[in-house]
Amino acid sequence: DEVVELDKRSGFYLQSTVNRISTFTGITVGIVAIVLNVINLVVLKHQKTLSPYVYLKWIAVCDLLTGAAIIWFAVCTYTDFLQHSPAIRLLAYWTLVPSYFLRSTFANGTAHLVVALGLDRVIAVRYPMKRALWCTAKKAHMASAILVAAGIIPNFHIFFRITMIYFPDPKNGLMIPRLQFTKEGNDPAVSMAVSYMKFLVKQLIPLVMMIATSFLTISEIVKSQKFRKKSNTLKANKKMQCLGVTVGVIVIFVITNTPFAVYSFLLTVNKSAYGAKGVAAIALALAEFIPWSNCFLNFFVYIFFNVTFRQEAIRIFFCRNKAVASPHTIHTNVTELSSIENKITATN
């Protein structure tokens, strides 16, 4: 009996520790995602209205909303909050499943948008004559809206497979709302089908397409490098910055999502991988947030690759006003322009 009681206490302590780590990591990731993506949107608002920047704006919106959903999900699953606040218990009961759905949907929307961004750059580099027809800002907005809405499809099963129940807390017996599989969710055949669908649609296909578009883009850049040297240097630098941002966003997404994709595949083919204990459970709780770090890492990609973004972000961070040309400078420029026009007229 003492051994059983000791196992229960150690299990409760481990569960409580994992719950605290998951909650505060989720809140931290969510806050950072919201702050940095607000900066992304403010800075990108001043960028040129080109198709890649349209996709980047939509990605920032999805990442921001994902961060908000992560925060709320973390709050509604933190046992201490639920124990001390009847209001949070009530809100958790009615909003935890929708927040779980929205978190996954916006994350899928981001994956779709990153794929679209890669395809947009492949078209622009490989078919430059058709870029003006295919890669327009209007079409990018339409494609982004459709792709974000398409994120609903692989997550709609959540409402049929997951529900909320009140479960007695082992510490004080208080009824705490918890996520629970429905009868359909517990069906082994349904669970297996959903697991394979999630791995294929949400992870494998997007990752393969991102890697493929990155490879095609980089190979086309290498092939056309000698032609770029003959073209206008400033124009070439701007194109390289845009392509650098695109490849950087894709690489960050692949790096942060590949480990979780492999882990999901292992769980799909080997259910015994569930139920990690001890240090492994804590490490797994932290590792699950690696894919969610993608919600704010794009900011650092923009800072590194895009000079204009970096300068504008620094200006916003230090609350500096935009540099405005002085009246004397404007008057001088106008005078010089008039003088040039007079010389041209006299020559004619």
Give 219-233 pLDDT, tens digit per residue.
777 776 655 555 454
Q: In angstroms, how far apart are the furthest CA atoms of the chain?
A: 107
Label each residue of the chain as H, E or C. Answer: CHHHHHHHHHHHHHHHHHHHHHHHHHHHHHHHHHHHHHHHHHHHCCCCCCHHHHHHHHHHHHHHHHHHHHHHHHHHCCHHHHHHCHHHHHHHHHHHHHHHHHHHHHHHHHHHHHHHHHHHHHHHHHCCCCHHHHCCHHHHHHHHHHHHHHCCHHHCCHHHHEEEEEEECCCCCCEEEEEEECCCCCCHHHHHHHHHHHHHHHHHHHHHHHHHHHHHHHHHHHHCHHHHHHCCHHHHHHHHHHHHHHHHHHHHHHHHHHHHHHHHHHHHHCHHHCCCCCHHHHHHHHHCCCHHHHHHHHHHHHHHHCHHHHHHHHHHHCCCCCCCCCHHHHHHHHHHHHHHHHHHHHHC
pLDDT at 121 over 70: yes
Has residue 34 got a pLDDT over 90?
Answer: yes
Residue 329: pLDDT band (50, 70, 90) is very low
Most confident of the following: 11-25, 199-213, 238-252: 199-213
Kindly report, residue by residue over 258-278, the tens digit of the pLDDT. 777 777 667 666 654 455 555
Lowest mean pLDDT among 11-15, 42-46, 280-284, 292-296: 11-15
Q: Which of 125-129, 236-240, 319-323 has the lowest mean pLDDT?
A: 236-240
φ/ψ of residue 184, rounded to 5: -65, -35
The pLDDT of residue 277 is: 57
pLDDT classification of 7: cutoffs 50, 70, 90: very low
Spatial contact of 126 and 141, defined as CB atoms under 8 Å apart: no
Reported pTM: 0.81
**Inter-residue contact 114 to 206 (CB < 8 Å):** yes
Question: What pLDDT, in 10s, does the model give residues 127-184?
Answer: 878 777 888 889 999 999 999 999 998 898 899 899 999 888 777 778 889 888 888 8
| Mean pLDDT value across the chain | 78
Of 220, 221, 208, 287, the C-alpha closest to 253 is 208
pLDDT given for residue 278 in this prediction: 55
